[in-house]
C-alpha cells in the first residue's frame, strides 16, 4: 500500500472511531474519551523521554507515567468545577521535578553543571504533550461538548489530511518554503487552511453549535494555523534526533506524537476561543 493510501486509510478509520467514542459514550463527562486522550499522552510522553535520552543522554527525574496526572486532573476539574486544578498539578509536578534534581545533584560531584538542561527538559516533557493536550478534556465545561469535540477533531484532522493530499498531488513545485519541513508545500498549506475553514463552518451548521459563521471561520482558520505549527514543532524534534517517526504505533502515520502533534498545539487555542465566543 502506498504512503498516501495508507495515511488516508488510517485517518478514515481513526477519526470516525473517535467520533463514535464521543457520541455513543458520553457518560461520566466523556470518561471514555478522556481515557483515550490519557493513553495518547502517556505514549507521547514516553516517546519524548526516548527523544531526550537519544539526543541529550538525560533521563528526566519524573517517570513518564506521571504525565497521566495532568489529563486526570483536567477531567476531575470538569466534574468538580475546580477550573485551575490541572494548572496546580502542572506546577506541583514541576516543583517535584526541581526538587528531585536538587536531591540527585547533591549526590554527585558535577557541581550541578547539567542541572539547567535537566530542569528545562523535565519541564518540556510535562508541558508537551501532557499539559497542552489536557485542554481537550477541559472542553467538558462547555455545553454541547460532543459537538464541540467533533468540530475540533474534524477541523484539525481535515487540515492535516488535505494539506497532505493537496501537497502530494499539486504541490511538488512549491515545496521547500519551510526549512524545518522541506516536503511541505504552499499548495498543501493553503489547501489545509481552506478545508479546515469549510469543515468548521459545515460542522457548526449541521451540529447546531452556538457559534456564528464568522466565529466558526475564525476557529477553522486558527485551528489550521495551530495544527501547522504543531506539525512543524514535531518536525524540528524529529530532525534534531534524525528520526523519521517518533515510533510505529499506527501504520503509515508513525508514533503517538506523530498523530497528536497538531492536536497538542490546537487544544489550548480552541479552548481559549470558546471561552471568548461562548462563555
Q: Is the pLDDT of residue 235 over 60?
A: yes
Q: Is the pLDDT of residue 2 over 50?
A: no
pTM of the model: 0.89
Q: Please say whether the beta carbons of 72 and 134 come within 8 A.
A: no
Q: Is the pLDDT of residue 261 over 50?
A: yes
**Largest pairwise CA distance in the chain:** 64
What is the C-alpha to C-alpha distance for residues 151 and 147, in angstroms, rounded to an integer? Answer: 6
What is the C-alpha to C-alpha distance for residues 31 and 175, in angstroms, rounded to an integer? Answer: 42
Give residue limits of the domains in the chain: 3-277
What is the C-alpha to C-alpha distance for residues 30 and 22, in angstroms, rounded to an integer? Answer: 7
Confidence of residue 224 (pLDDT cuts 50, 70, 90): very high
Q: Please say whether the beta carbons of 38 and 188 come within 8 A.
A: no
Give the model confidence (pLDDT) of 118-163 as tens digits: 788 888 889 999 999 999 999 998 988 999 999 999 999 999 888 7
Q: Is the pLDDT of residue 113 over 70?
A: no
* 3-class secondary-structure state, position 259: helix
**Percent of the chain having pLDDT more than 90?**
47
Amino acid at each position: 500500500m502506498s504512503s498516501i493510501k495508507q495515511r488516508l486509510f488510517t485517518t478514515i478509520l481513526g477519526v470516525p472511531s473517535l467520533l463514535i467514542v464521543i457520541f455513543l459514550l458520553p457518560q461520566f463527562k466523556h470518561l471514555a474519551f478522556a481515557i483515550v486522550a490519557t493513553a495518547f499522552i502517556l505514549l507521547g510522553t514516553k516517546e519524548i523521554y526516548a527523544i531526550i535520552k537519544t539526543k541529550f543522554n538525560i533521563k528526566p527525574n519524573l517517570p513518564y507515567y506521571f504525565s497521566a496526572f495532568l489529563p486526570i486532573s483536567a477531567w476531575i476539574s470538569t466534574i468538580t468545577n475546580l477550573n485551575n486544578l490541572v494548572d496546580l498539578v502542572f506546577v506541583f509536578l514541576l516543583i517535584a521535578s526541581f526538587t528531585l534534581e536538587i536531591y540527585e545533584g547533591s549526590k554527585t560531584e558535577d557541581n550541578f553543571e547539567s542541572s539547567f538542561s535537566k530542569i528545562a527538559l523535565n519541564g518540556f516533557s510535562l508541558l508537551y504533550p501532557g499539559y497542552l493536550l489536557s485542554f481537550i478534556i477541559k472542553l467538558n465545561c462547555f455545553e454541547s461538548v460532543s459537538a464541540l469535540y467533533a468540530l475540533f477533531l474534524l477541523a484539525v484532522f481535515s487540515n492535516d489530511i488535505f494539506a497532505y493530499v493537496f501537497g502530494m498531488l499539486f504541490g511538488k513545485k512549491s515545496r521547500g518554503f519551510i526549512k524545518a519541513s522541506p516536503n511541505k508545500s504552499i499548495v498543501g498549506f493553503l489547501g489545509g487552511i481552506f478545508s479546515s475553514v469549510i469543515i468548521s463552518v459545515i460542522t457548526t451548521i449541521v451540529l447546531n453549535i452556538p457559534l456564528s459563521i464568522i466565529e466558526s471561520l475564525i476557529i477553522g482558520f486558527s485551528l489550521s494555523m495551530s495544527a501547522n505549527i504543531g506539525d512543524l514543532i514535531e518536525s524540528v524534534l524529529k530532525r534534531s534526533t534524525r528520526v523519521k517517526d517518533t515510533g510505529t504505533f499506527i501504520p503509515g502515520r508513525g508514533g503517538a506524537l506523530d498523530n497528536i502533534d497538531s492536536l497538542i498545539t490546537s487544544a489550548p487555542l480552541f479552548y481559549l476561543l470558546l471561552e471568548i465566543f461562548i462563555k
